Structure 1
């Protein structure tokens, strides 16, 4: 796929009871998306048509069996189905086992297509963790599903928010557990992975800042020992490997310095440390990229919004941004591969 001018992008519609179908239809109604890539939806035609009614979208629907059958023309929505479901039984705004199964099937289909090199990029609308659990999904969320079902060595989460690239040692863990999780070995692994991924998109010696855990980076042990025990040794070990790592940098200033351009990437130690900074800066344009997979994968970083599903008021900026940013990174990766060849 790397020789194509535009990447082929699969957009999964997410939980059919949530806002996913609406915001993916909105994405397919954005002309810029077609200028940058070849998009199609993975979902159910009946669910998409219902969302089109909500969005007053009169585009044509083209049902396809494989991505190569897509028209990729503005004014037509190409849809690849994953099976037959009782779509009429899906109620907006409710946790339903069938909705969980459908959204899980959409994700699994995108992985199948990605592994078979039929697509370049996957952009995912939100799924509901409780619904996929009811449907028998053993993984807690998107990132774990993609990591495990692609047999990837790692699935590294990055928040992209304007010029901020924020990575995470852990995400969905209790705070007490997350603090213990940020060991020297795990932090060093993350820094190495970040270095590999950013050099893979053409950044030369990217500067990677590791966030501190304690106030003032512990002030030489006054407020905890995690910096001395784990973070400083991890940064030094990375530097010995030739990686341009710095830190630990106090968390109350690291993101401001990142916005100023002092760093190419920031490693956040736990979920809220990085999420609060990005979402405060620009909630709608804080989107997720998952590195380490055999294809580029992005996602919105908001939920299914059951309370407003089907009302036509859900904002689609994040879904469009997630799709376009993933395409940008895919193109950067292709350019870097050409330079290295």
Structure 2
């Protein structure tokens, strides 16, 4: 059985190894057999021991049941939890780089990423705003999007890790339209026959006919009209203070958020432990936990692996859905 789900361990000093070990311990034998962890084997062994996981750490060529780890040697790893270290940033990058190599050569595969630390990543000389930007660079993708998916609310962002001033400038007709198209295509792939999409406004009350800004009229409304002309079931802009409630109540399958916090705040309010971060617009599939490295609790068997289990479940759905 090919190992079609590729987990990157994330920052070796964070909670990634713990939540991975716990989640795989609860997975079926069949699911473990198609999963490989790219990371540091001693760290995975330590995490499994701390968490009381009674499964062997095995290599990619082993056939017994266990947690399969492809070890990537990185010089200077502290192999201690809770430390911010450039060597851990270097390791995080190399794990992602290797996962991209594997999934690029294996159609029908998916990367599941454990959390990285952006400060450690940049200290190692890898200047990215996070996983999505790194993956876009490694796959030579011109554009990418962040989707936060949960059972009752899903959000895709026009922009993410930029200042609010820059986010407003990035909300162009072209970018908003392409975001709508990308979200619509992904939901159809995931089994939603006719996705219902709402576009959140930028300004309070969508600008109130110019009283509070004109961005909604000059950028968002034309993008929505263009998408409607293509046959996409999309409405908006709708004031951001009501659209998420309506979506959560079942009126929409997807909300287009204009910037990072506009999309993250409602998702983290209603699905903090279960929301999955999905990268769209890449030639490979990738989803992730929607939490950080949590250095303060790393190595203490405290970290909740619910989010990792949700990410692995979503990855299985993408693998089952077939090629994009």
Whether TM-score is above 0.5 comes out as: yes
2:144–2:282 CA contact under 8 A, matched in 1 = yes
Distance 1:121 1:33, change over 3 A: farther
Which string of whole-angstrom CA distances, capped at 9 and with x for unpartnered residues, describes residues 223-268 of structure 1?
A: 2111111111111111122222210011111111112221121100
The equivalent residue for 2:100 is: 111
- CA–CA distance in structure 2, aligned partners of residues 34 and 81 of structure 1: 22
- 1:326 Cα deviation (Å)? 2.0
1:27–1:33 CA contact under 8 A, matched in 2 = no
Helix, strand or coil at the partner of 1:79: strand
Helix, strand or coil at the partner of 2:183: helix
Q: Select the residue among 68, 71, 90 that pairs with 2:79.
A: 90
Q: Select the residue among 19, 35, 45 that pairs with 1:39.
A: 35
2:288 is the alignment partner of 1:292: no
2:73 is the alignment partner of 1:77: no
- CA–CA distance in structure 1, aligned partners of residues 52 and 160 of structure 2: 37
The equivalent residue for 2:246 is: 257
Number of aligned residue pairs: 324
The equivalent residue for 2:317 is: 328
The equivalent residue for 2:211 is: 222
The equivalent residue for 1:186 is: 175
- CA–CA distance in structure 1, aligned partners of residues 249 and 3 of structure 2: 31
- 1:153 Cα deviation (Å)? 4.2
Helix, strand or coil at the partner of 1:15: coil
Provide structure 2 residue ranges, at least 5 long, that are not aligned to the other structure. none
1:300-339 → structure 2 map (5 Å cutoff): 300-331=289-320, 333-334=321-322
Q: CA RMSD in A?
A: 2.1
Helix, strand or coil at the partner of 2:236: strand
Distance 1:71 1:222, change over 3 A: farther
Q: Select the residue among 14, 18, 22 that pairs with 1:18.
A: 14
Helix, strand or coil at the partner of 2:42: helix
Task: Please identify runs of 4+ aligned residues in structure 1 that moved more than 4 A.
Answer: 32-37
Which string of whole-angstrom CA distances, capped at 9 and with x for unpartnered residues, describes residues 269-292 of structure 1?
A: 011111110111121012201122
- CA–CA distance in structure 2, aligned partners of residues 51 and 140 of structure 1: 27
- 1:294 Cα deviation (Å)? 2.8
Which string of whole-angstrom CA distances, capped at 9 and with x for unpartnered residues, describes residues 152-178 of structure 1?
A: 343221001213221000111111221
Helix, strand or coil at the partner of 2:162: coil
- CA–CA distance in structure 1, aligned partners of residues 176 and 64 of structure 2: 42
Distance 1:202 1:56, change over 3 A: closer
Helix, strand or coil at the partner of 2:87: helix
Helix, strand or coil at the partner of 1:306: coil
- CA–CA distance in structure 2, aligned partners of residues 84 and 177 of structure 1: 36
The equivalent residue for 1:57 is: 53
Distance 1:36 1:278, change over 3 A: farther
Distance 1:72 1:330, change over 3 A: farther
Report the TM-score, using the length of structure 1 for normalisation: 0.88
- 1:18 Cα deviation (Å)? 0.8
2:119 is the alignment partner of 1:130: yes
2:74–2:91 CA contact under 8 A, matched in 1 = no
- CA–CA distance in structure 1, aligned partners of residues 124 and 251 of structure 2: 45
1:7–1:119 CA contact under 8 A, matched in 2 = no
Which string of whole-angstrom CA distances, capped at 9 and with x for unpartnered residues, describes residues 121-154 of structure 1?
A: 1110001111111212132211111111112343
1:231–1:248 CA contact under 8 A, matched in 2 = yes
- 1:71 Cα deviation (Å)? 3.6
1:238-249 → structure 2 map (5 Å cutoff): 238-249=227-238
